[in-house]
Amino acid sequence: MTTKNIRFGVWAPVHGPRAALQDPAEPFDASWSHNRKVVLEAEALGYDSTLIAQHTVNPHLPASDQLEAWTASAALAALTSRIEIISAIKPYIYHPIFLAKMALQIENISEGRFALNLVNAWNRPEFEKAGINFAEHDDRYAYGREWISVVSRLLRGETISHTGNNFNISDYALTPKDLYRERPRIYVGGESEPARALVADHGDVWFINGQPLNDVQSLISDLRQRPRQGVALRFGLSAFVIARDTETEAHAYHRHLSDLAAKDSDIRAVQKANSDPKVVMLQTMAKSPRIGSNGGTAAGLVGSYDQVAERIQAFHDAGIELFMLQFQPLLTEMRTFAAEIFPRVRKITRTPAQAKYSEVVR
């Protein structure tokens, strides 16, 4: 759905439901076939993008299924024709050369629709049980910064030699290059100071965790004030949506999902114990009750169809271009959003001249 630069995306169900794990209306399903069905239908409905989160072990239920992001992204690239496919990556788990090679391959399979989302990890056991050191928060970012500087140049088709704290590379180039554009797009998800510095220097789009409009405005204004080379940074927002005919119905469903989510408190406690407490994303999410991951309902997209459309417009005016959405039950709600919200947003979208974001959109 291309409406004055607003784009909508859907989080793929890579590790099951986003809000509540024990929901009779959304049985756990992290299979490839379910993910394929969701993404193909999202594309058919007019969604512009999908985010394939990267976890090797299910972060909520370690004994349950977890989709593998990169192999699944390659398959999705071959099966789809229009939707953007964003695959998350934690720098420590792949050497930058081999990751850049995979990214270029998926970019060319998709004919120019692939993007990577650099995320610097929070789930300790995922690394430690594999014998990989889970470095301190800012050290992970220092590693990620060196890593993306190498990846980004390889993606651009440069022949590189690099000597740094972590990598020693001589005279390396990847062929074929990106056959469709300069390089795949680079998103960054992370809220801490080193995350912001990294996205200002190396990212194309900053993914912000769902949170109230004022907070999102401050984050965007901080990033816009930072020195940066090349085109302006763009912004994406993660959010969990509950949209209904009336506000009352939406809040009733929110309560219903919150009650179901409360049944997962033991699971969440394990997840919290496994998390790096220095991760700013988790500190932000602890500020207000919410359901869904990555801020979820804290972005306030819970209300009548009209209210949700208006709030999307307000975020868009603040600078958000891509809305990466979570729903539960996913397929039903994703269809309703497309039927009810797409046309409303199209109707109320202000002209670019009226909207502040137009200054920064490429």
Ligand X SMILES: Cc1cc2nc3c(=O)[nH]c(=O)nc-3n(C[C@H](O)[C@H](O)[C@H](O)COP(=O)(O)O)c2cc1C
Binding positions for ligand X, rule: CB under 6 A: 53-55, 88, 90, 117, 119-123, 189-192, 195, 207, 209, 238, 279-281, 294, 324
Q: 86 exposed, middle or buried (CB, 10 Å; 0-12, 13-18, 19+)? A: buried
Could you tell me the smallest distance in angstroms from the CB atom of residue 190 to ligand X?
A: 3
296 or 344: whose CB is closer to ligand X?
Answer: 296
User: What CA–CA distances, in Å, run from 2 to 5, 236, 333, 353?
Assistant: 6, 15, 20, 17
42 or 324: whose CB is closer to ligand X?
Answer: 324
CA-CA-CA-CA torsion sign (15, 19, 22, 23)? negative
Residues 30 and 66: beta-carbon distance below 8 Å: yes
The residue type found at 283 is Q
Could you tell me the smallest distance in angstroms from the CB atom of residue 144 to ligand X?
A: 9
Residues 314 and 197: beta-carbon distance below 8 Å: no
211 or 349: whose CB is closer to ligand X?
Answer: 211
Taking CB positions, which residue lies at the least distance from ligand X? 189
21 or 188: whose CB is closer to ligand X?
Answer: 188
Could you tell me the smallest distance in angstroms from the CB atom of residue 314 to ligand X?
A: 20
- Per the DSSP assignment, residues forming a β-bridge with 117 are 88, 187
What residues contact 103, with CB distance under 8 A and at least 6 apart? 87, 114, 116, 151, 155, 184
Local structure of residue 209 (DSSP, 8 states): P
118 or 250: whose CB is closer to ligand X?
Answer: 118
Alpha helices in 46-95 (DSSP H): 69-79
Could you tell me the smallest distance in angstroms from the CB atom of residue 193 to ligand X?
A: 8
211 or 307: whose CB is closer to ligand X?
Answer: 211
Residues 9 and 322: beta-carbon distance below 8 Å: yes
54 or 152: whose CB is closer to ligand X?
Answer: 54
Could you tell me the smallest distance in angstroms from the CB atom of residue 327 to ligand X?
A: 15
Local structure of residue 88 (DSSP, 8 states): E
Could you tell me the smallest distance in angstroms from the CB atom of residue 326 to ligand X?
A: 10
- Per the DSSP assignment, residues forming a β-bridge with 342 are none
59 or 96: whose CB is closer to ligand X?
Answer: 59
Question: Counting runs of H as helices and runs of E as strands, what totals does the chain give?
Answer: 12, 12
Radius of gyration of the chain (CA): 20
Could you tell me the smallest distance in angstroms from the CB atom of residue 197 to ligand X?
A: 10
Could you tell me the smallest distance in angstroms from the CB atom of residue 282 to ligand X?
A: 7
Q: Tell me the CB-side half-sphere exposure of residue 122, using CA atoms within 13 A.
A: 21
